Chain A
Amino acid sequence: MKSFNYHAPKDVKDASKLASSNSAFLAGGMTTIPSMKLGLASYKDVIDIKNIKKLSGIKVSGKSVTIGATTKHAEVAASKDVKKAIPALAKLAGNIGDAQVRNRGTIGGSISNNDPSACYPSACMALNAVIHTNKRKIDADKFFTGMFETALKSGELVEAVEFEIPEKADYQKHPNPASRYAIIGVFVAKHKKDVNVAVTGAKSCVYIDQDLSKKLSSNFSVSAIEGMEVKSSGMNSDMHASAEYRANLVSLYAKKAVEAC
């Protein structure tokens, strides 16, 4: 790994001041550190945000669950509040990576990295999340802009993610057996007025399947989407799964998620 200067500021202001086009914020480091070790990324400054107290923690209000950026997957998975308000979100967090990754990895890191196979982005999309940064609030559908790309600007730091509490929700993932990343993952959330079906792992970036969402909005049942074909165009094809296989999995896992709701 190439050398860098390590910083551990105590507040967001200082963290923001240290940031440049040649820096990275470090939360759990579960992607950042391996990327640097493999030489895929290098930075002059690494800004560890773990000492910024206000970035960690879980708050539940009547309508939403807000999770601080440095809150670890294991904390979300074990949180009684999250389990009560949005059990699907706790379930999702409890199936990310492995136990040791969940003890370090954070929600802020996951969404800022926007890996096309990451689990959390699908929850953000399906649960109409609002991403709170040190500069503004960004709706999830404007936040995830492409493969490993987000709307975050240089020096902009995710502070918290606010999820809308749905009537019902479930997340179903077909994990890669080695990495546990989603070959595909489907997050179905039934809100008062409509239903969101968010898909991760299938394309270069998380997205809402409009056809499935519409059908389920008018009739929330497995039979409503029975026999519906999900198109494979634009889907990833790699050594793990062809685009056609992924398309079939999306359809199958959407049904599984509805069934589990």
Chain B
Amino acid sequence: MTKVTLEVNGKKVSKEVPDHTLLSVFLRDNLNLTGTHVGCDTSQCGACVVHVNGKSIKSCSTLAADVEGSKVTTIEGLAKDGKLHPMQAAFKKTHGLQCGYCTPGMVMSAVDLLQTKKNPSDQEIREWLEGNICRCTGYQNIVAAVKEAATKM
């Protein structure tokens, strides 16, 4: 067992968990933050993307113990005071989702992109989202959502 202390969505949390606990499991099972989805569980689909110290990573391929002491942001941490984050609002407005399973990861990846590139081209958006797989939308409206959010962020 190992003690993992993190700041998740601004709140300090500390839990004793088995050493091999994945960050995705820690978030979902120990903290009940089930907005972080597990899709493929082999680090290809990106449904599990969260931010660790501001950078997007795949939480299903990261040990909770490995990010000890870090600041973690999940999809639940984006909306402030009941108001959607501009990226969430843009996904809603442009209908950048259908079933919604991949959406938390898509949104977290896209937010990370706009942190480093304020006005990405379609090509840059598509390249950045290579690690996020969506089986519904055909990606067009996801790209449109990121472009829309870029005008608001």
Contact = CB atoms under 8 A, between A and B. Distances in A.
- Asked if chains A and B come from one complex, the reply is yes
Contact of A103 (B19, B44, B57): B57
Interface string B5-24: 00000000000001110100
Interface string B102-118: 00000001001100000
B19 A33 contact: no
B46 A98 contact: yes
B52 to A, nearest CB: 8
Range, interface on chain B: 20 to 34
Interface residues of A, number: 29
Interface string A1-22: 1111110100000000000000
A100 B65 contact: no
Contacts of A178: 44
A157 interface: no
A104 B57 contact: yes
A37 B113 CA distance: 28
B62 A179 contact: no
A50 B66 contact: yes
Contacts, number: 79
A180 B130 contact: yes
| Residue among B55, B62, B63, B128 facing the most chain A CB atoms (10 A cut-off) | B63
Contact of A38 (B42, B63, B66): B42
Contacts of B2: 6
A97 B131 contact: yes
A46 B132 CA distance: 28
Interface of A: 1-6, 8, 26, 29-30, 33-34, 36-38, 46, 48, 50, 74, 97-101, 103-104, 178-180
